[in-house]
A and B are shown apart, each in its own frame.
Chain A
Amino acid sequence: MAPMENPLKQIHSIMNDENAVLIYSGEFNQEIVKSMLNYTEGKLESSGIDDLVRKKIFNVMVEQLQNITKHQYTDDEKSVVQPCFVLIEQENYYNLVTGNPIHVDTIQMVSDRINQVNSLNADELKDLYKQARLNSRISEVGGAGLGFIDVARKTENKLDFGFYDIDSANYKYFTLKTQINKIIE
């Protein structure tokens, strides 16, 4: 499930990559998410990117960023490791990477959900999304529980994820990497 390389080292090496479109580490809230989206849209527009790819990046980025905003923990361990987001341009695709501390009690649920999504083809994902939306109730933090399914559908790629030890008894660091191809079929 989790590759052994230290994620913070990985993120550090990504941060030094000249192809990074946006790197952020710190507090997440709706205002910060909006600023990140505005900045990224502007930067991508001026890069001459295909409109449809830009839209897909926007879609997937919203889900990944709001996922962190809604599921940040609020207890006193929050100084351990900050959440982060990185958008990086590769030759044939873009990667969107998020990292955030996650309570050990929720790891199994998150892991099961992503593994389920990764095991399905496009038609199966469509059916799961429709069914899950019908049954969904907006949670206390404002989520519909559809984010992973939507991201898998929009990117048409598998979700890459891991959980890493950090200096905490109750939290691990959850990373999620998605890939958006530059050529949409």
Chain B
Amino acid sequence: MEHLVIAKTDDTPEIDFNPGTKEMKISGRSLPEDVTTFYAPVLEWLDELEETPSGAYKFIVNLEYFNTASSKLILDILMRLEDIHTGGNNTIEIIWNYDKRDTDMEEAAEEYSELVEVPFQIVGI
């Protein structure tokens, strides 16, 4: 497993998936023109993780905003994490941090947590 790092831009989030610390972080804003291309390396990394027994991973979300197309891709990522968690090679815990005044983001996190069978903490900061 390689350390996947994508620097953040005006319209794409920072991706930091580190097999050393076993933390997968996504932070910032997500409104790329082409969500499929942007998230392809993330999904490929998760495919590799599914095949590689390596332990207990945390998926840490620090997103301040995402558009509807990204919302679909985030669902794809969470479903992939569920596959990994139930697949037996690794365990996953999701920690979703949000600005505690932002009820739209809180609701978005709750809706995701209802859809996937993975330990899911929603933390207002």
Give the B-binding residues of A (Cβ under 8 A). 30, 34, 37-38, 51-52, 55-56, 58-59, 62-63, 66, 69, 126, 129-130, 133-134, 136, 138, 142-144, 146-147, 150, 154
The 3 lowest CB-CB distance pairs between A and B, nearest first, are A146-B68, A30-B33, A144-B72
Which B residue sits closest to A38, measured CB to CB?
A: B10
Are B72 and A146 in touch, CB under 8 angstroms? yes
Are B10 and A34 in touch, CB under 8 angstroms? yes
Task: Give every chain A residue within 8 A of B67 (Cβ-Cβ).
Answer: 59, 62-63, 66
Are A66 and B31 in touch, CB under 8 angstroms? yes
Task: Give every chain A residue within 8 A of B69 (Cβ-Cβ).
Answer: 66, 138, 142-144, 146
Q: Given A133-B71, A154-B104, A142–B33 Cβ distance below 8 Å?
A: yes
Task: Give every chain B residue within 8 A of A138 (Cβ-Cβ).
Answer: 35-36, 69, 72-73
Task: Give every chain B residue within 8 A of A66 (Cβ-Cβ).
Answer: 31, 33, 67, 69
Task: Give every chain B residue within 8 A of A154 (Cβ-Cβ).
Answer: 104
Are B65 and A59 in touch, CB under 8 angstroms? yes
Report the number of A-B residue pairs with Cβ-Cβ less than 8 Å. Answer: 64
Give the A-binding residues of B (Cβ under 8 A). 10-11, 31, 33-36, 64-65, 67-69, 71-73, 75, 101-102, 104, 107, 111, 115
The docked-state distance in angstroms from the alpha carbon of A51 to that of B71 is 22
Main DSSP-derived SS at the A contact region:
helix
Shortest Cβ gap from A168 to chain B (Å): 27
Which A residue sits closest to B69, measured CB to CB?
A: A144
Task: Give every chain A residue within 8 A of B104 (Cβ-Cβ).
Answer: 55-56, 59, 154
Task: Give every chain A residue within 8 A of B73 (Cβ-Cβ).
Answer: 138
Which A residue sits closest to B76, measured CB to CB?
A: A138
Shortest Cβ gap from A122 to chain B (Å): 10
Task: Give every chain A residue within 8 A of B33 (Cβ-Cβ).
Answer: 30, 66, 69, 142
Are A51 and B101 in touch, CB under 8 angstroms? yes
The docked-state distance in angstroms from the alpha carbon of A121 to that of B33 is 30
Q: Given A55-B102, A130-B111, A136–B36 Cβ distance below 8 Å?
A: no
Beyond A59-B67, A143-B69, 4 extra complex contacts between A and B, CB < 8 Å: A66-B67, A138-B35, A146-B69, A146-B71
Are A52 and B102 in touch, CB under 8 angstroms? yes
